[in-house]
Amino acid sequence: MKKVKYNCLILLMGITLQYANAQVRTEKDLLGEKQIPADAYYGVQTLRALENFQVSGVKTNFYPDYVKAYAIVKLAAARANGEVGRMKKDRLAAIEKACQAVMDGKYHDQFLTDLYQGGAGTSANMNANEVLANIALEMMGKKKGEYQYIEPHDDLNMGQSTNDVYPTAIHIALILHNDKLIKEAKLLSQSFHKKGDEFGKLLKMGRTEGQDAVPMTLGQEFHAFGYQIDAAIEALRKSEEYLYEVNMGATAIGTGLTATPGYAEKCSAQLAKITGKPITTAKDLISATSSMQAFVMYSSAMKNLAVTLSKISSDLIFLATGPRTGIFEINLPALQPGSSIMPGKVNPVMPELMNQICFKAIGNDVTVTFASQDGLLQLNAYEPVVAVAIMESQALFYKSMPLFRKNCIDGITANEKVLKYYMERSVGIVTALNPVLGYEKTTELAKEALETNKGILELIREKKLLTEDQIKKLLDPATMTGQQKK
């Protein structure tokens, strides 16, 4: 027992000595002093956020474009302040280098605040201010924490507030990632269109409300999937335009207090130059600071993409049901065994995955809706959860669409015998016979087919209503599906 106590004492002494020897620097804010690890680029306000908001475990640096967006915003602000004669040249030069380093992917490990936080994003903004200030200090040959040379508030937050920096950074992050998202969506659409060309001459029965309708080609069906995605892409493009208006220069509530005249417009011009996007200053900064309309519009476009991809995924699952007791018109690539108990079962795992992503994105849009309609008067304090919701949806789609494309769509094959069987057995084909046999005769054929469980073509041949040559022409995909009219 004495030996155990002795070992514990030695261990505690070692830990105490380790902390005593640890290299730290002291920083202070209005609440008092804090010991900051000497090698940390963040400062006292970031440390307080790390203590207060250990919630999701998802940090700012989980989304590289979000970190890059902060550097872009701070770079534009510093240059704008330089243009209006407020930022000293030596400090501007150091800040520019610091921002560029972060934009190049460096120092991202220092952006540590939890995405869920109170204070309408103050912690995230101060994390960026402190990190960039200390990077700039080192680039000037100074030590971290020597804020008399470059100060997180006075220099990195010059003429700014969290209330204009934070939403602008989110706007920029969403714009940056939207380009990547659209690129993947276009590739997915192209995959569907490629299958549409491949299946262009395979005749099948279309269905409405789950019932036999009229003939179409499998190619038309897959082209339709592609066109639905094309429309969702267009909505994403149009909704991005709402993100181009930013409230930089608004400062606290939109009155521009502490910002130099002309700064707001110059900051937007710098943002446009850096991003290559037509960023502009909002017409009314008070409105832009309190309203979440841009986020609502973009989130709605994300929801539209989710609804589109979910509908397509469910259709693919339905078309691939079977193999013996379902529709089984197409084969989805077999990726893994589908059951721990049922031998031979293979599940449609990729459309199922895509559906789950879509359900999450739709739920995230609901979160954006509730968060955006709340928030009091001149500021919405719930912007952090809006950012979390939209960025999560973007990231999930960006990662899942390539998997869906490569592991599912590109490998789909058609069951041609099944398609032909349904065509010959379906009662729905009688609609195409109306111009040839007349409505009354085709109605009789449909009734007899249902009563006798015979196919329409089988009855036509029995009754010798059409010659084989007429049947062949009738069943030509171009004739049957209206493609000859295009």
Rounded to an integer, what distance in angstroms lies between the CA atom of residue 17 and that of residue 5? Answer: 18
Q: Using an 8 Å Cβ cutoff, are 92 and 40 in contact?
A: no
Give residue 72's identity as a one-letter amino acid code: I
Closest CA to 272 of 80, 127, 67, 107: 80
- Give the Cβ contact number of residue 63 at 10 Å: 23
Read off the tokens for 107: 């120092």
Q: Is 340 an annotated catalytic residue?
A: no
Residue with tokens 């770079």: 75
Residue with tokens 């002291």: 26
The residue from 189, 287, 339, 426 that is catalytic is 339
Rounded to an integer, what distance in angstroms lies between the CA atom of residue 341 and that of residue 332? Answer: 21
Q: Using an 8 Å Cβ cutoff, are 199 and 419 in contact?
A: no
Query: Strand, helix or coil at 37?
Result: strand
DSSP state of 382: T
What's the distance, CA 481 to chain centroid?
Answer: 36
Concatenating the DSSP letter of every residue in 111-136 gives ---BSS-SSTTHHHHHHHHHHHHHHH
Query: Strand, helix or coil at 206?
Result: strand
Q: Using an 8 Å Cβ cutoff, are 42 and 129 in contact?
A: no
Closest CA to 267 of 285, 253, 291, 241: 285
Q: Using an 8 Å Cβ cutoff, are 99 and 74 in contact?
A: yes
Q: Using an 8 Å Cβ cutoff, are 108 and 74 in contact?
A: no
List of residues 6+ apart from 99 with CB closer than 8 A: 71, 72, 74, 75, 78, 132
**Cis peptide leading into 323, omega within 30 of 0?**
yes
Rounded to an integer, what distance in angstroms lies between the CA atom of residue 64 and that of residue 116? Answer: 17
Catalytic residues: 339
